[in-house]
Structure 1
């Protein structure tokens, strides 16, 4: 009699292509016992999500399991027909997908989607199914669940949508949950709630969990065992304490060295021994041709003074019946010239709304924003706004959705140069080639399209595009939240180099507090649309004043027991 819930034995997954067979997974072994949380880590393309798809029977043709088996409670489930897998999927094995937007139907309310799943797997009537839907939203930490369940996915923030996806996975009370980056879009407070819920399910209901993540803090604090993958193969497996504290494989050591630490600030993240081009000297070369920015009049480049933003939560032609939501409520702070100012807070706290008002993507409903002593909320003409926007650029959280899939990369990077009429003729292509080379992609990348690149490479394209107008100010809105730890280290090193060698001023928005400590000079903490604390980074982490800040820092993954090999000279 088997003692494990899930057994993956010598699994290989192949994708035939015109250029040959691509081996996504090569001879992988993995077991999950009842009540065990098994972490699966590795960089993008390592094969982690492919293993999850193989277990669920969701490998897209012509991809297929070429060798090995997947067994559930001792019965082989790999190779079953579609009907048999549908009966198993959801009822016994559920999956939490990484991208909530592609997992939710935009035409149905959250209630419709939850009730549909509940009624498909549990023998409940409509009234009981609706009550369970509200209870599930409450369990995953969504406020006002009875009201929010009636809303559509687009009315939720990214973190809120991820919680809805988690609620969908829990609908049928499964025996195995495959969680594919379940906390990528979540701030530390909600991440802690979700991880506590997963641990509770494992402990009390003996649910087996495969936790696929690039967040080593989540692995260290949550999992019982860890499997490390590289290029489709398992390179190391063992207990969490053993793998995280005393890794044996070189690649595992490289991964752990790239983890941002909340207790140790490094000048640069160690260069990984497994791939990853060091762009330090390329950025130094770029700096030689970078124009010297004018000095601000006061030493403060951006001054935010009491800004407010409201959105319509329930529309009506009758003003008294409208319901408004205050996303930003009289927020004030300043960003000094040449510094990196961090903005942190839970999902829905107003961080990205503030960034979009500074970028003039949203109008303010009150207050003022000054850029080098000019009130940008009073810019009346398009020419004035364009002149301001040329000096600021924004790097968005999701590089794929912020890049036009129908444009070649060189055209994407050239677009802001052409829009602002900065260069003409061959000079445009020269700048594009230089930027792509400086961010570590090479000029030949310009002839490709966004879908031909990994997530980390697409974020490098976004950085190249942001630098195209030679701006004075960069807004980075969760620029590394969707990246694995090794690629995150490379992108953060690029941003550090840009700030150091080009003298750029940055607004850095993130829910990852260890990353904020590594990147920022000062930090502002937001909650429910208000600024609760602003302080120097080291002071904030050492002696926070606001109770909410103390709560955030307390919820931060402790990363205790992680190896410090490779950090000595960082």
Structure 2
């Protein structure tokens, strides 16, 4: 159905021409799900953009061919390309929130897409739109179709995006990281939907992802990219279980394992010098400064009987507003110098717990304690309150959490002056440079801006900034979910090293259970704002007690004994 032969994509620039894709070939049959995997910058999304005709200028295809059936996609005129894009080829993007128009109802968006490509009445288009929503698993579609995107959960929004992609009965759908932002339960539902569409409709899928477990669970064939070139391709089980190329072998070895806890991840050489750089004198200065505080870095943290209620908008003068219970009498204890893993599906209350701990949300009831000291709640914490300093966060998206207008040196120095840890400007700059060295980056990075770094490097900067507040507890909220396998392994190794060196107390929030097993000493499982299981991490993974815990493990793509187990045996072989 789709044939890509010797594809080369180049981007001309002031300092020469950058070759993003070089001599790439692949084929996709009807009903086939073809996986495209590789680290950030490998060229995965560029291939998808070239196929659908959405290459960003000044990028262009300098060599090769792309055929959809008998149609040469590279010689189409603008009008023909526009008709092909959407009607014969559709795309599913990573973030459904930004793929949907927030000002239009789901009904209007589906009808508009259908009528753009077909001469059909509004009523007939509406009937088809409802059928598509039902096919993608949305209940009460005839009523829900009138809702706006923000009124759906993340998984439901992704189903709407898939329904939009199906509006014109396409032959090929390009799915670019369609499950990265979803928890394991919703991810499993979306992948089941994709497999069902491939089987029942014969749609071909190009599935772009950095999640090896998703590839193992879903794809018949896989192509491994690095630096815009094909390293290896073939049947999924063959490539994952017996990789031939050294890069594929190292990539597979970096996949977090769910069947056993390892001391360290094996890391492909993707960020030169980062993983093996020795600790220099500057890093030793940062370490001495961290240890010179009045209190030890890692302290115990507990919450007792915490309840959080959110009051909705009043829809009638005579009716009480609805009250949503985000956390219901939640208690949790993080032992000093240990890592607590916090897991649960979207909407379970994980991020709300983090906001309560950091003073961003006022709980309705309950208390917080750092060791034996009671922490003030949100309303009692001013901006410069000392209690704000002792709990710091590392967020999911380091690009959003770092001020794009400030240089790295200013970003890192901010907590030093904000909390009065260092009043001398020159010393603040020296400490910032030393902390960069400690997290594996060159000290000269202080003069650059966030956009000049890769995703993994930005996350290292975010960790450095958190440490410069001399925290007692570090909250990591999905710190690696947006990173590819190799960069994820590097950041997790960094957190492991820092935790062991400074006995940090960490709350590690993630929907990736394999990552949680590698990082955590204890684990707490949330569902609908309640704790359903808590205890030592290894006990949880070896013998989960709650039915919900067992369900979460069974839905994880590379869970031993379940679907997608291929990615487990290959790590041992490597």
TM over 0.5: yes
| Cα pair distance change 1:164/1:203, threshold 3 Å | same
Task: Give the secondary-structure state (helix, strand or coil) at the position aligned to 2:470.
Answer: coil
Q: Distance in 1 between matches of 2:398 and 2:140?
A: 32
Residue matched to 1:267: 263
Q: Distance in 1 between matches of 2:278 and 2:521?
A: 23
- Shift in Å, 1:404: 1.7
Task: Give the secondary-structure state (helix, strand or coil) at the position aligned to 2:81.
Answer: helix
Aligned pairs for 1:335-354 within 5 A:
335-354=334-353
Deviations 1:442-478 (CA, angstroms, capped at 9, x unpaired): 1222222222222222222211211121211111111
Q: Check the 8 A contact 1:379/1:385 in 2, yes or no.
A: no
- Shift in Å, 1:411: 1.7
Q: Distance in 1 between matches of 2:408 and 2:155?
A: 29
| Cα pair distance change 1:565/1:544, threshold 3 Å | closer
Residue matched to 1:440: 440
Aligned pairs for 1:441-480 within 5 A:
441-480=441-480
Q: Check the 8 A contact 1:314/1:324 in 2, yes or no.
A: no
Residue matched to 2:47: 51
Moved more, 198-207 or 45-54: 198-207
Q: Distance in 1 between matches of 2:324 and 2:239?
A: 46
- Shift in Å, 1:122: 5.2
- Which of 211, 214, 224 matches 2:210? 214
Moved more, 274-283 or 178-187: 274-283
- Shift in Å, 1:27: 1.0
Q: Distance in 1 between matches of 2:134 and 2:309?
A: 25
- Shift in Å, 1:526: 1.2
Aligned pairs for 1:72-83 within 5 A:
72-83=68-79
Q: Check the 8 A contact 2:299/2:337 in 1, yes or no.
A: no
Residue matched to 1:369: 368
Moved more, 545-554 or 81-90: 81-90
Q: Distance in 2 between matches of 1:136 and 1:474?
A: 44
Deviations 1:43-74 (CA, angstroms, capped at 9, x unpaired): 00000000000011111111111111111012
Paired residues, number: 564
Q: Distance in 2 between matches of 1:502 and 1:143?
A: 50
Residue matched to 1:98: 94
Q: Distance in 2 between matches of 1:239 and 1:24?
A: 25
Q: Check the 8 A contact 1:254/1:272 in 2, yes or no.
A: yes
- TM-score normalised by the chain length of structure 2: 0.91
Q: Distance in 1 between matches of 2:377 and 2:131?
A: 47
- Shift in Å, 1:379: 6.3
Q: Check the 8 A contact 1:342/1:522 in 2, yes or no.
A: yes
Aligned pairs for 1:118-517 within 5 A:
118-121=114-117, 125-130=121-126, 132-133=128-129, 136-137=132-133, 139-140=135-136, 149-275=145-271, 277-278=274-275, 281-282=278-279, 285=284, 286-291=286-291, 301-316=300-315, 318=317, 320-378=319-377, 381-383=380-382, 386-423=385-422, 424-517=424-517
Task: Give the secondary-structure state (helix, strand or coil) at the position aligned to 1:471.
Answer: coil
- Shift in Å, 1:140: 4.6
Q: Check the 8 A contact 2:254/2:266 in 1, yes or no.
A: yes
Residue matched to 2:561: none
Tell me, which stretches of 5 or more residues in structure 2 are unaligned? 559-563
- Shift in Å, 1:333: 1.3
Task: Give the secondary-structure state (helix, strand or coil) at the position aligned to 2:86.
Answer: coil
Q: Check the 8 A contact 2:303/2:331 in 1, yes or no.
A: yes
Q: Check the 8 A contact 2:359/2:381 in 1, yes or no.
A: no
Deviations 1:58-117 (CA, angstroms, capped at 9, x unpaired): 111111111111110121012423321221112111111123343222332333323322
In the alignment, structure 1 residue 523 sits paired with structure 2 residue 523: yes
| Cα pair distance change 1:239/1:177, threshold 3 Å | same
Q: Distance in 2 between matches of 1:563 and 1:334?
A: 32
- Shift in Å, 1:406: 1.5
Task: Give the secondary-structure state (helix, strand or coil) at the position aligned to 1:30.
Answer: strand
